[in-house]
Amino acid sequence: MTLAAAVVGFSLAVPITTAQETDPENTMVISLSSGEVVVKLRPDLAPKHVEQIKTLVRDGAYDNVAFHRVIPGFMAQTGDVKFGDMEDGFAPRRAGTGGSDLPDLRAEFTGEPFVRGVVGMARSQDPNSANSQFFIMFDDGEFLNGQYTVVGEVVSGMENVDKIKKGTQADNGAVADPDRMMKVVIAADTQ
């Protein structure tokens, strides 16, 4: 899969909800080596995508999955549950080409802007090909608006996203020895 964007960040134009204001059933917590990242999932924007993400989280599919494509000033992409688990023979050249055993999803595009901290679904050229991969925006990416599905926003821990090991523009963001999501949970499951 290819992706033209990633999601992580904050923009003064878009108010970021505090972690205390999130619904535990729609709050994803990603543990990185640098700390936790709390994502408010947005079923109001993309109900089918959010449901698929929550299913994968609850199945443990995202645990130990690499950030295989990280472009400075743009985004950090992860979620390749087929080729991104480093314990199951991570192959850097294949990371980013896989999804999950669940079906691909039809696009749920909205007018929600891609700004720093937004989480969007990665896809191939086919708008209806999102599956398991997602990205977090480092910066605003208005060129993605209406082209990718917004599934959430980082509400705390953006400083930890900023510390994710970066790739280079020359390698289209490919990362050697990448950072990974150590553990991913839905907050409601930990209460």
Q: CA nearest 138: which of 54, 72, 64, 83?
A: 72
> 188 or 20, which is more confident?
188
Averaged pLDDT of the chain? 85
Q: What angle do CA 112, 22, 46 make, to 5 degrees?
A: 35
- How many separate domains does the chain show? 1
What's the pTM value of the predicted model, to 2 decimals?
A: 0.85
Does residue 116 lie within any of the structural domains? yes
pLDDT given for residue 123 in this prediction: 94
Tell me if 11 is assigned to some domain: no
- 84-109 confidence digits (pLDDT tens): 665 444 444 455 566 788 999 999 99
CATH value at residue 184: 2.40.100.10
Report for 50-59, 64-73, 98-107, 164-173: range of highest mean pLDDT: 50-59
Whether the pLDDT of residue 173 is over 50: the answer is yes
Domain-embedded: residue 7: no
pLDDT above 60 (res 1): no
The SS3 call for residue 46 is coil
The answer to whether residue 16 is domain-embedded is no
3-state secondary structure 69-111: EEECCCEEEECCCCCCEHHHCCCCCCCCCCCCCCCCECCCCCC
Residue 9 has pLDDT above 80, yes or no: no
Domain membership of residue 15 (yes or no) is no
Q: Is residue 111 classed exposed, middle or buried when 0-12, 13-18 and 19+ CB atoms within 10 A define those classes?
A: exposed
* Residue 60 belongs to a domain: yes
Single-letter amino acid, residue 88: D
Q: Give Cβ neighbours of residue 93 (< 8 Å, ≥ 6 apart).
A: none
Beta-strand ranges (E) seen in the chain are: 27-32, 35-41, 65-66, 69-71, 75-78, 118-121, 134-137, 150-156, 180-181, 183-186
Q: What is the pLDDT of residue 96?
A: 57
Angle at 112 between CA 46 and CA 13, to 5 degrees: 140
pLDDT at 51 over 70: yes
Q: Which residue has the higher pLDDT, 174 or 132?
A: 132
Question: Would 6 be classed as within a structural domain?
Answer: no
Could you give the percent of the chain with pLDDT greater than 70? 81
Give the pLDDT score at 5: 34
The boundaries of the domain holding residue 179 are 24-190
Q: What is the pLDDT of residue 16?
A: 41
Distance CA 16, CA 40 (A): 10
- d(Cα 53, Cα 49) in Å, to the nearest integer? 6
Q: Is residue 2 part of a domain?
A: no
Nearest C-alpha neighbor of 40 from the set 63, 17, 57, 14: 17
